[in-house]
């Protein structure tokens, strides 16, 4: 019985020590000054967001952590400020026991560059979310025309993601255009024809059909014979000749 009591007391003491140790390690002495920020950026393969630009954005918002008492720094305020940057998908801010402010940022993944007929320029990420601007130049498919509505934007993103994974069509398609009827036209690099896609449903099947037509048709009659190739309908390519 006495042995069991000792074990229980030892267990309680160990738990109390762990709680105390965690409290001491994570607590910040009153008046301790911030030593600076520790910024980590993920999903930033193309380096579209820099640590310097993050620091500059915080400075413009009047948020300077270094040298400021730790108790006067509000993590939520920093997170809110950084989420205003359109390329930022998520931001987590926290204070460390070494008197640093940790900032972990996750970037959106831009997949297509939009130039609409209203003069607006922006990007869409892989979730069809708008990105207002990107600091560094990156190569992405370009979409133009009367772009409006979530459905059309989702179709453009679907096409862009398809092109990412298909080398042949990525190299062949130069531009994506949206008509006033919200139908999609693909503009190729080779040939003077337009590809009337209709919509992005069954995209792979439509483009496989067109690729076969390229091999069996255009390679024989010439790539400049037609001005339009309509692949909207199942199992057929409707051709419009040049005048």
Q: How is the chain split into domains, by residue range? A: 36-107, 110-241
Rounded mean pLDDT of 47-70? 91
Q: In this predicted structure, what is the pLDDT of residue 46?
A: 65
Q: Is residue 74's pLDDT more than 50? A: yes
Cβ–Cβ under 8 Å, residues 52 and 14: no
Which residues, in sequence order, are bridge partners of residue 42? 106
% of the chain with per-residue pLDDT over 70: 87
Q: Is 133 helix (H, G, I), strand (E, B) or coil?
A: coil
Rounded mean pLDDT of 61-71? 93
- Same fold for the pair 36-107 and 110-241: no
CATH 3.20.20.140 describes domain 36-107: no
Neighbours of 155 (CB within 10 A): 24
Closest CA to 41 of 84, 103, 96, 86: 103
pLDDT digits (tens, 9 = 90+) for 173-220: 999 999 999 999 999 998 889 999 999 999 999 999 999 999 888 877
Give residue 5's pLDDT band: very low, low, confident or very high (50, 70, 90). low
Distance between CA 70 and CA 85 in Å, rounded?
25
Q: In this predicted structure, what is the pLDDT of residue 175?
A: 97
Closest CA to 203 of 240, 174, 176, 226: 176
**Topology of the domain comprising 110-241:** Rossmann fold (3.40.50)
pLDDT digits (tens, 9 = 90+) for 18-47: 344 334 444 556 779 999 999 999 887 667
Q: What is the pTM of this model?
A: 0.79
Closest CA to 125 of 105, 107, 146, 139: 107
Q: In this predicted structure, what is the pLDDT of residue 235?
A: 81
Contacts of the segment 90-97: beta carbons below 8 A, 24+ positions apart: 95/28, 95/70, 96/38, 97/25, 97/26, 97/27, 97/28
Q: In this predicted structure, what is the pLDDT of residue 70?
A: 93
Can you read off the two tokens belonging to residue 217? 């048709």
Q: What is the mean pLDDT of the chain?
A: 87
Q: Is 235 helix (H, G, I), strand (E, B) or coil?
A: coil
Distance between CA 102 and CA 66 in Å, rounded?
12
Cβ–Cβ under 8 Å, residues 199 and 165: no
Give the list of residues 6+ apart from residue 38 with CB closer than 8 angstroms, or none: 96, 100, 101, 102, 103
């Amino acid at each position: 019985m006495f042995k069991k009591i000792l074990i229980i007391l030892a267990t309680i003491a160990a738990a109390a020590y762990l709680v105390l140790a965690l409290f001491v390690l994570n607590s910040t002495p009153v008046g301790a000054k911030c030593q600076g920020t520790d910024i980590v950026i993920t999903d930033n393969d193309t380096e579209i967001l820099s640590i310097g630009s993050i620091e500059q954005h915080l400075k413009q918002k009047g948020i300077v952590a270094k040298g400021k008492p730790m108790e006067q720094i509000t993590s939520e305020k920093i997170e809110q400020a950084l989420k205003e940057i359109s390329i930022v998908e998520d931001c987590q801010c926290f204070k460390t026991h070494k008197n640093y402010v940790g900032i972990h940022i996750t970037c959106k993944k831009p997949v297509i560059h939009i130039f609409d007929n209203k003069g607006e320029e922006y990007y869409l990420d892989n979730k069809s979310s708008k990105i207002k601007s990107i600091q560094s130049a990156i190569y992405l498919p370009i979409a133009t025309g009367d772009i409006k509505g979530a459905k059309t934007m989702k179709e453009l993103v679907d096409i862009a993601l398809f092109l990412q994974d298909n080398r042949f069509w990525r190299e062949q398609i130069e531009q994506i255009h949206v008509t006033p009827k919200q139908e999609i036209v693909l503009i190729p690099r080779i040939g003077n024809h337009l590809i009337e896609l209709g919509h992005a449903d069954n995209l792979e099947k439509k483009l496989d059909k067109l690729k076969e037509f390229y091999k069996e048709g255009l390679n024989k009659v010439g790539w400049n014979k037609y001005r339009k190739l309509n692949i909207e309908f199942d199992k057929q390519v409707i051709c419009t000749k040049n005048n």
